[in-house]
Amino acid sequence: MATTSLPRTSNRSAVIAALLSGADVDRRRLIADTGLSRATVFRIVDDLMAESLALEGSRILREGPGRQSTTVSFNHRSALVCGVDLGGTNCRVVVADALGRAVIRSRDTTPRDATADELAAWVAGKVTGLVSRHGDGVPLHTVTIGLPGVVTGDGRSVVASHNLGQIKGTGFIETVSGLLDVETAVGNDSNLALRGELQYGSLPDRETAVLLAMGTGLGSAVSIDGQVLLGRTGLLGEFGRLPLPGREERLRDLLSGADLVAYARRQGVRVPTARALFADPEAYAPVLAEVHAALAHLVTVVALAYEPGTVVLTGGFSESFDTARLTAISDQVADTVGVRSVVRRSDLGDSAGLLGSMATSLGRLYDSLGVSARDAASVAVDRDLIVRRLAECPTAPATPTAGPGGPGTTQEEHNAPHTRHDEQMAEG
């Protein structure tokens, strides 16, 4: 069997990457951008059109002799990708075209009481339902699922999950992958949120950065030179497990919505949500002082571990820390250990994990098309467009779940008394 030569593969990769910005491109511009010969570019474009990966655009009128040309663009309808952000409180799904432009999304209460198989079937049903109803017949290529737990580096097993204990082990991953029947990748939700920040946020590509995901639970992730670090066992960066100095409580007991409410109640402070604590800082000053001290301690730990230029906070819980508080913590850490890290909230907010899952699915799609990692990194992505399309794309009606409101309760009915911020900081 004949094999494709390395130069031919490399040339194809360069041409596809040049088209992945989504714009209509003149063939002459492709020649200039890739440095390839005219004959090579025209041949590759013809091949991509035959494979329905490229589309012919408008005719370009030029004076003088020579072949008249048309623009060419990547066929965004050649495939669909999906990102899933499965949390302890909510599950969000986005289906996007082959350029990462959101087509449809959904947001539902996670059925926490479901078994591993039931939860897997529910997630798979959400994805396949969105694709069948809104995908317009375009095939789904890859699904990436972010999980709230410790996931091994190979993505095959969940070591532990504080808020969704049933996903521990291999059962959930194997079942959901089988039901989806397409390439399925699984990763820690914090790692995927950092991938989203790197791909579509404002983090410098080559700066060491740490993300602290503070929602129903507490997670963290780190990137060096634009690459998210993955540990073999998945425990890398699980700082929420660390005990507070001289105490039995762990960092996650004070820095996650569900555990903070439980901790406050053990101290005799009755509050319905973590948000209520921050809404009245005078009444709950002693508890909030502990929270601020815990965050300063966590930032100190990650500053010494990685010397990050930026520590970015995401998740509903993180919204309770104002800019002045985060600046004060940054100054305190710099004075204490000599490492200056800018501590700030995420630009993408609670969309970071969903965008990171989608970006991972896109990366796997492009890899299957023969796009090298180097060429994929060179793609001129319109970050603002991707984020805006996610925010503006329609949201599918919620489906009934046997969740906290009982069998048949819809997401809207269950959430009617609450704001989105309340849900993210709820007891879980």
Residue 6 has a pLDDT of 62
The answer for residues whose C-beta is within 8 angstroms of residue 224's C-beta and 6 or more apart is: 208, 306
Residue 61 has a pLDDT of 54
Q: Parallel, antiparallel, or unpaired for β 80-86 and 140-147? A: parallel
Which run of H or of E encompasses 71?
strand 69-74
Residue-wise pLDDT for 53-72, tens only, equals: 999 876 665 555 555 578 89
Residue 64 has a pLDDT of 54
Any bridge partners for residue 108, and if so which?
Answer: 91
Residue 401 has a pLDDT of 53
Closest of 205, 190, 145, 215 to residue 352, by C-alpha: 190
Q: Strands, E, within 201-273: which ranges?
A: 209-214, 218-224, 227-228
Give how far the C-alpha of residue 18 lies from the chain's centroid of Cα atoms, to the nearest Å. Answer: 24
Residue 408 has a pLDDT of 37
Angle at which helices 285-306 and 257-266 pack, to 10 degrees? Answer: 130
Measure the CA–CA gap between 230 and 154, rounded to whole angstroms. Answer: 9
Residue 233 has a pLDDT of 80
The answer for residues whose C-beta is within 8 angstroms of residue 377's C-beta and 6 or more apart is: 226
Q: Pull the structure tokens for residue 123.
A: 């997630």
Closest of 177, 182, 180 to residue 157, by C-alpha: 177
What is the identity of the amino acid at 216?
Answer: T
Note the pTM of the prediction, 2 decimals. 0.87
Residue 270 has a pLDDT of 87
Residue-wise pLDDT for 110-167, tens only, equals: 999 999 999 999 999 999 999 999 999 999 999 999 999 899 988 999 998 988 999 9
Q: Pull the structure tokens for residue 418.
A: 């609450």
Cβ atoms of 73 and 18 within 8 Å: the answer is: no
Cβ atoms of 55 and 73 within 8 Å: the answer is: yes
What is the identity of the amino acid at 181?
Answer: D
Low-confidence ranges of the chain (pLDDT < 70): 1-6, 58-68, 399-428
